[in-house]
Structure formats: structure tokens, C-alpha cells
Amino acid sequence: MEQWVVVSIIIAAYLAVTLTIGLLAGRKSTDTVAGYVAADRSFGLVAMYFVTGASVFSAFAFLGGPGWAYSRGAAAFYILAYGAIGMAPFYWMGPRAAALGRKFGFVTQAQLVVGRFPSRNLSAMIAVLSLVAFVPYVTVQMRGAGIVIEAVTDGHVPLWLGALIAYGIVIIYVLKSGAMAVGWTNTFQGIFMVVIAWTLGLYLPYRLYGGIGPMFEQIAEARPDLLVPPGLNASGDPWSWGAFSTLILVSAVGLMMWPHLFMKAFTAKDDDTLRRTVILFPTFQLFLIPVFLIGFAGVMFDGAPPSSDFILPYMILETHLPAVVVGLFCAGALSASMSTGDALLHASASVFVEDGVAKYKDLDERQQQRLMQVIVLVTGAIAYYFALDSESSLVLLLASAYGLISQLAPPVVAAMYWRRATTLGVVVGLLAGVATAFFFYMNPELKPYDMHEGILGLLVHIPVLIGASLLTKEQNADHIEEFFS
Amino acid sequence: MSLKTARILTGLYFVAMTYFVTWPGLLPFSRIRPMVLGLPFSLAWIASWIAGSVLVLYLLDIVEKRFRDAGSDG
């Protein structure tokens, strides 16, 4: 049998197992909005660990990370650095948000912000912002799935079809089973990816160079510029420290502001589960190192993939591994893509309906769920359109989304920790931050020190939030007391 | 250790980590040699800070848990 046929069979089997788990999971949750959005607040440590971990092991890290290691060297280290920093504050913020969620019945982060700063326009702004940031993120995941399938089937299954099949399955189980499906499929996929990543990440350097040390010795000899941060930029020239450092900062700030992650505070069974998830989270960051090694293994390898995002499947194919291994690897990469994509689609629908539409129109539970399912389809379709069209690299797509999502941090922190913050202050701050980030995104040549537009946005956002809050009338003392007690 | 001390120390660790994995704190460690476990020094340096953060959060949790069990939230 030809290799690509064997590979396709393994992928098909893998997809079937994922679909089954996803559909079975839904039978465990109640048929309510709280069930669909927050899995009835029932996730234990294992599910929580893999649900958050899956966000690290996305197509972005699994394909984009090695792609960067291969073409831009040490620039890729930023992906390792930010996770631990970004997650740590959640040790305290998570349980606090969870307590507020239980007290007031919040299931999204906009509900938390608006619970403190009552304004349906603010809620709608957060919903739109989240959705706009989600689309490039989902696009990254779909494109990743398509890339892998196209590469390992020798083009017999092209990118458009691969992405369509993988995400068709994701959409089916997200529609059917909601948060519960995301939790259970991520656990299965998480274990799968970690095993695959370590096996191949350690094996390839040995096979090609006789070990990790010898591999880096060879790179240090031939391409020392690749091994020293901040690495190289997209055109192969030395990258700027400003861009490297602020990309770490904006990713750290933005990480927990992603609705699909923040909302995990409302999905967790209890506070200890949340705290332990935070403690263990950086281990996922370490699991990424072998994946990067695969990218580095490509540096001294003869021949080059069509684009750096293809380096991982390219190395797997060019080193003539058995078809079964290629198939398993491919399933691992699909796991990475799908386990992030499902959470994203699910969260975007929850946010859009709960925080956007439901604020302006009275909907009963059934209508809300129905509408969420429509939004899953619409977001999926938009992302799919961009996935086929996209010219830019996976990492760059996502980096731009972080500029937007990081602007949610000041409102969320102010809602939970700053009594003197006012609704007007938060609204004006958010508008100023988003406008600034957008301006520098459109005019990158104006960025001071090559800083990330999200950080520049925050530099305007935070002073405006504080200033405008202090200039406006304090919130009603009873309201604040209720929120802080 | 008091809850407050544990929280301040944890905070300091993450501030230090942020400093040492970005400009300018990373500058002196942004080099290839000595290699550690076969990895370039800069990569091993960043990985050590990540591994350290698991330990620091774990220790913090021990202290926090003791105070929660005692019934005060600090």
C-alpha cells in the first residue's frame, strides 16, 4: 500500500475516535446555557490541565513554533517565555473570578466586567473585540490542520479539503455537546500530542545528527545567528530587542484574557482545581521544547519546505519514517489544531450570544443555544475563508490577535481589584487602547522601538482608564461592597 | 512563612523572570555557550526560569493552603 494511503487511514481512525469522544461527552452535561457554556462548572484537574494546556499546544506552537525555530531561530523562544508569566496572576484572579461567577451566575468574562460596570454597550464592545480577535486565531488552527493533511498525503488531500474535514468534525461535536466535548476531546488529544512531540523531538536530532548537543554544535558552527535571542526577523535580518521583548509582554498580558481560557475559571469544579492548573501550566511550555528541536533539525538539513510553516511535516516525510509514525504524527498535529480550534469556536459563540445579542434582545434558553450554534457555524465559515486565502505566517496571524485581546486586561483587572474605577473610565480606556493598537497595526513604521502595537495600546489604555475614572463620580458604595465582599 | 511574604516573594520571582527573559535582562545570557544538556545557553536559561516557576507556584500553594485551612484569607 502507498504511504499516503496508510497515513490517511490512520488519520481517519483518529478523527473517528475524536468525534466519538466529543459526541459521548455531551450526554453528561445538562441541556442548559450553563451546561453548554460552562459544562455545569464540573471540570476536574485532569480535564482542566489539558484544556488549558491545549491552548499552548495549538497549531501555532506545533507548526508555527518549529517554523520560527527553523527560519528565525531564537526568535521562537518567545513562545516558551510568555506562558509562565502570563498564567501566574491567575492563581489569585482565577478563584476570585470563580467566586464572582458563582455569586452572580457569570459564565463569560464580559459578564464579570459588566456586572461591575453596568453598560450593555461595554458588553457589546467586549463581545465584538473578542470575536474579531478569535477569527485570526481560528484561521491559524484551520490552516494548520490543512497544511499537515496536505503535506502528509502528498497533496492527494489538498489544504482546503483537509481543513474542511477536520473542522467539519470539530463543528459537529461543538454544536452537539458544547463545553463538555471540548474538555474530553482535549484530554484525549493532549495526551496524544505530548507523547508524539517528545518521541519525534528527541528521535529526529539523534537520527540526523547523533544527538541534541551535536545538532546545536553544527548549527552554532554554521548559523550562530540563529541561536542567540532575539533571533532573526521574517526577512532573515537580525530582529529587534524591542519587538522580541514586547511580544513576550503582550502575549503574557493577553494569554489569560482569551475568553476561552478566562472562562475556564467558570468551568472548574472548585478553586483548588484552578490553582493546581495554574501551577502545572508551565510544564506544557517545557513540553514544547522537543517540538522546537524538530524545527532546528531542519536547519542543517539538505532541502527546504515550500514555506517555513511546513517544516514539521516536511522533516517527518523527508527522513523516511514508517508510514504509521507519519500517520500518528499527523494525528498529533491535528490534535494540536483541533483541540484549540474547538475551544475557540465554542467560546466565540458563547461570548457573542451571551454578551452581545442577549443584551439587546430577550432570548429564552432554547433560543440562546440555537443562536450559539449558528454563530459556531458562521465563525467557522469566516475563518475557513481566510485559512484558504492567507499569505502570512501562522505566528504573525496570531501575534496580531494578541494586540486586541490584551486590551481586555485593564477592564478585567479594574473590575475585580480597583474600587475607584468607573464605567465611563473603563469604556473610554478601552476605546483609547483599541484605537491606539489599531493605529500602530496599520502604521507599523511609526512604532517606537519596534514595540508591539498591543503594548503601545496598553500604554495609552491604562492612564486613560485611571484618569477618566478619577474624573468621574465614584460608583455607588453598596454596589461596590456587594462586588468586593 | 507568612502569607504576605510568600505572595511578595512569588511576585518578585515573576518580575525577575520577566526582566531576565526580555531586554535588557536577557542580554548577558543571550549566548550559545556553555551548552546545557545539549541546548544553547539562551534556551536552557529560559527553560530554567519556566521550570523554576512551577516550583515557586507550588511552594506558594503550600503556604496559601495552610492559611486557607486555618480559615483566614489573608
How far apart are the C-alpha atoms of A46 and A36, rounded to whole Å? 20
The domain in which residue B20 lies consists of 3-69
A161 vs B: CB within 8 A: no
Query: For cell 511550555, what's the residue?
Result: A285
Are residues A218 and A300 in contact, defined by beta-carbon separation less than 8 angstroms? yes
A248 vs B: CB within 8 A: yes
Q: B14 falls in which pLDDT band (50, 70, 90)? A: very high
How far apart are the C-alpha atoms of A111 and A246, rounded to whole Å? 29
Are residues A29 and A177 in contact, defined by beta-carbon separation less than 8 angstroms? yes
Are residues A191 and A330 in contact, defined by beta-carbon separation less than 8 angstroms? no
B8 vs A: CB within 8 A: no
Are residues A305 and A78 in contact, defined by beta-carbon separation less than 8 angstroms? no
Shortest alpha-carbon distance between residue A245 and chain B (Å): 5
Residue B15 domain-assigned? yes
B47, A286: Cβ pair inside 8 Å? yes
- Identify the three-state secondary structure at position A268: strand
How far apart are the C-alpha atoms of A467 and A199, rounded to whole Å? 53
The three grid cell numbers given for residue A64, joined into one nine-digit string: 508555527
B20 vs A: CB within 8 A: no
How big is the A-B interface in CB pairs under 8 Å?
A: 105
A211 vs B: CB within 8 A: yes
Mean pLDDT value across chain A = 87
How far apart are the C-alpha atoms of A394 and A398, rounded to whole Å? 7
How far apart are the C-alpha atoms of A262 and A255, rounded to whole Å? 9
The three grid cell numbers given for residue A385, joined into one nine-digit string: 475563508
Predicted confidence (pLDDT) at residue A268 exceeds the cutoff of 70: yes
User: Each residue of A201-245: pLDDT tens digit?
Assistant: 889 999 999 999 999 999 999 999 999 999 999 888 999 999 999
Q: B12 falls in which pLDDT band (50, 70, 90)? A: very high
Residue B74 domain-assigned? no
Average pLDDT over residues A393-416: 85
State the amino acid at position A139 in one-letter form. Answer: T
- The pLDDT of residue B43 is 96
Are residues A298 and A314 in contact, defined by beta-carbon separation less than 8 angstroms? yes
Are residues A433 and A452 in contact, defined by beta-carbon separation less than 8 angstroms? no
A215 vs B: CB within 8 A: yes
Are residues A346 and A260 in contact, defined by beta-carbon separation less than 8 angstroms? yes
- The pLDDT of residue A362 is 83
Contact list in A for residue B47 (CB cut-off 8 A) is: 80, 286, 289
Categorise residue A378: left if φ over 0, alpha if ψ from -120 to 50, beta otherwise.
alpha
How many independent structural domains does chain B possess?
A: 1
The three grid cell numbers given for residue A98, joined into one nine-digit string: 470563580
Residue B26 domain-assigned? yes
Predicted confidence (pLDDT) at residue A390 exceeds the cutoff of 60: no
Q: What is the 3-state secondary structure (H, E, C) of B34-71?
A: CCECCECHHHHHHHHHHHHHHHHHHHHHHHHHHHHHCC
Comparing CB atoms, the residue among A229, A248, A289 nearest residue B47 is A289
CB-side neighbour CA atoms (13 Å) of A433: 30
ipTM (interface pTM): 0.93
- Which residues are bridge partners to B36 per DSSP? B39
A282 vs B: CB within 8 A: yes
**Cα distances (angstroms) measured from residue A451 to each of A76, A155, A247, A258, A396:** 17, 39, 8, 21, 14
Average pLDDT over residues A175-182: 74
- The pLDDT of residue A346 is 84
List the single residue in A with minimal CA-CA distance to B61. A275
Residue B55 domain-assigned? yes
Q: A304 falls in which pLDDT band (50, 70, 90)? A: confident
How far apart are the C-alpha atoms of A139 and A390, rounded to whole Å? 9
A80, B46: Cβ pair inside 8 Å? yes
B64 vs A: CB within 8 A: yes
Q: Which residues contact B19 (CB under 8 A, 6 or more apart)?
A: B25
Contact list in A for residue B51 (CB cut-off 8 A) is: 282, 286
Distance of CA A408 to the CA centre of its chain: 15
Residue B7 domain-assigned? yes
Average pLDDT over residues A395-415: 87
Of A226-240, A276-290, B33-47, minimum mean pLDDT range = A276-290
State the amino acid at position A14 in one-letter form. Answer: Y
How far apart are the C-alpha atoms of A379 and A386, rounded to whole Å? 11
| Per-residue exposure over A137-147, b if at least 16 CB sit within 10 Å of its own CB, e if not | bbbbbbbbbbb
Q: Give, as one character, the DSSP assignment of residue A57.
A: S
How many C-beta atoms lie closer than 10 Å to residue A479's C-beta?
13
The three grid cell numbers given for residue A272, joined into one nine-digit string: 483548588
Shortest alpha-carbon distance between residue A301 and chain B (Å): 18
Predicted confidence (pLDDT) at residue A462 exceeds the cutoff of 50: yes
Contact list in B for residue A278 (CB cut-off 8 A) is: 57
Higher pLDDT, A211 or A21: A211
Q: Which residues contact A481 (CB under 8 A, 6 or more apart)?
A: none
Residue B28 domain-assigned? yes
User: Each residue of A349-374: pLDDT tens digit?
Assistant: 888 888 888 888 888 888 888 888 88
Predicted confidence (pLDDT) at residue B73 exceeds the cutoff of 60: no
User: Each residue of A32-86: pLDDT tens digit?
Assistant: 776 666 666 667 777 778 777 776 667 777 788 899 999 999 999 999 989 889 9
Backbone angles phi, psi at A232, to 5 degrees: -115, 160
Q: B7 falls in which pLDDT band (50, 70, 90)? A: very high
Predicted confidence (pLDDT) at residue B72 exceeds the cutoff of 80: no
Q: Which residues contact B1 (CB under 8 A, 6 or more apart)?
A: B63
Comparing CB atoms, the residue among B21, B30, B53 nearest residue A228 is B30
Shortest alpha-carbon distance between residue B70 and chain A (Å): 15
Distance of CA A94 to the CA centre of its chain: 18
Q: B42 falls in which pLDDT band (50, 70, 90)? A: very high
User: Each residue of A129-173: pLDDT tens digit?
Assistant: 988 888 888 888 888 889 888 888 888 989 899 999 988 888 888
- Residue A406's closest CA among A188, A249, A232, A231? A249
Predicted confidence (pLDDT) at residue A459 exceeds the cutoff of 50: yes
Structural domains in chain A, CATH included, are: 3-399 (1.20.1730.10)
- Residue A142's closest CA among A162, A116, A156? A162
Q: Which residues contact A25 (CB under 8 A, 6 or more apart)?
A: A173, A177, A180, A181, A183, A184, A185
Beta strands in A67-210 (DSSP E): none
Q: Which ranges of A256-300 would DSSP assign to H, the alpha helix?
A: 259-262, 264-267, 271-297
B15 vs A: CB within 8 A: no
Query: For cell 483548588, what's the residue?
Result: A272
A81, B58: Cβ pair inside 8 Å? no
Average pLDDT over residues A444-453: 92
- The pLDDT of residue B74 is 44
How far apart are the C-alpha atoms of A136 and A383, rounded to whole Å? 7
A81, B42: Cβ pair inside 8 Å? no
